[in-house]
Amino acid sequence: MTTRTPGKLSDGREILWYDREPGRVAGVDHRGLPQVHTVSEIRYDELLDEWVAIASHRQTRTFQPSGGAEHCPLCPTIPGRETEVPTPDYEVVAFENRFPSFSGGVGRCEVVCFTSDHDGRFGGLPADRVRLVVDALADRTAELSLLPGVEQVFPFENRGAEIGVTLAHPHGQIYGYPFVTPRTRQQLESARRYRVRTRGDLYADILDRERAGARAVVSSAHWTAFVPVAARWPVEVHLYPHRDVKDLPELTAEERADLAEVWLDVLARLERFHDRPLPYIAAWHQAPVRQDRHLARLHLELFSILRTPTKIKYLAGSESGMGVFINDTTPEDVAARLRDLA
C-alpha cells in the first residue's frame, strides 16, 4: 500500500512524501526562501516545427556541490543542515523543481528522490522500494495530466556525471510539457501510417517480433526487455509491457510489481556490461494527455553513452548536425552480452 503525504516548502512549492506505510507527518521548511521567480518561455522553431524552452535562470542552479551529503540539497534535513526535504528521513519524495525548465503556467517540472541515502543508486534499491517509485511516478503522471496546458508527462532519470547530472543524489525528474514532444509525434505518425497500411498495432508487432528474436534480453509474465533493431546508442534496451497500456497510471498492481523486478534485472546487467558504474538515461515514453492516445504505448528506453569502459559516444557531426546516428556496436551482439550477464 502506498501512502501520500502533501506539504509545502517555504517558497510555496509543493512537496509530496510517498511511503509504504501510513503515519508520515509532513515536515516544515524553516529556510524562509523567497518566492520562486523564473523566466522560462517556449519559442517555436518554424523550420523544424518544434518548440524550444528558453530558461536562462537555470544558469545559476546548484552544480555538483562539494562535500557529499553534507551539502546535498536532496538529502533529508537534519540539525545544522536544511535541505529541500524538511524531514529527517524519507522513502520517496517528489517536489517542484526550484530551477524548472518550464514554469509560469507553461508546463511543470518536478524532482523525484528515490531514496534518502546519498550514496545509494536506483539499481541498488530493493524491489519493494522500486515499486514505490513506480507508484509515485504513476501518481505524479495522473496529477500533472490534469493541469491546464500540460500535453505530455515525461518521467526520466539521468545517472552519472558523463550524462551531465548536476546532483549525485539518486533522483529523477518529471516534465509536464506544454506540447507533445518531437520524438513522440514522430512515433505516433509512424504508428498511424502502420495502422493505415496494415491495420495492425506497430508497438504490438514490434514486441511480438522481439520477444522471439535474437535481441531479446529478458522476459517475465508482464514485461519484455530487448535491444531495438536500429539501436542508436552503444548500450540500449527497451522495456515493453505485454498489455496495451498507455501510461503508468494504467498499470495493474501485478504489472507494477513485475516491472520493479524486471527493471532491476536490466539495470544489474547494464552495471556489469563495462564492469563499472554505467552512466545512463532512463526515459519513460507515455501517451500524450489528449492527442492520439489510441496510437501510443507505454515503454521505457534505457541507454548509455559509454561505448567502452573509457570511451564516450559523442553526438558529433552526423548525429548533432543531421540527426543520423552511427552506432559502433551491433544490437545482436549487445543483446547476447546482456543475456550472458544475468
Which residues participate in catalysis according to the annotation? 171
CA distances from 215 to 65, 211, 234, 269, 273 (A): 40, 8, 14, 14, 16
Residue 118 marked as a ligand binder: yes
**Strand ranges for the chain from DSSP E:** 3-8, 14-19, 41-45, 50-54, 92-96, 108-113, 152-159, 171-177, 216-219, 223-226, 235-241, 280-285, 299-304, 306-308, 311-312
Q: Which residues of 200-212 are buried (b: 16+ CB within 10 A; e: fewer)?
A: ebbbeebbeebee
CA angle 206/335/270 to nearest 5° reads: 110
> 126 burial class (0-12, 13-18, 19+ CB within 10 angstroms)?
exposed
Residue 169 marked as a ligand binder: yes
Residue 75 marked as a ligand binder: yes
Residue 37 marked as a ligand binder: no
Q: Within 13 Å of residue 86, how many CA atoms lie on the same side as its CB?
A: 21
Cβ atoms of residues 238 and 229 within 8 Å:
no
Number of H-type helices and E-type strands within the chain: 5, 15
Is residue 293 classed as helix, strand or coil in its secondary structure? helix
In the 8-state DSSP scheme, what is residue 78? B
Give the residue ranges of the annotated binding site: 72, 75, 118, 169
Give the residue ranges of the annotated binding site for Zn(2+): 72, 75, 118, 169
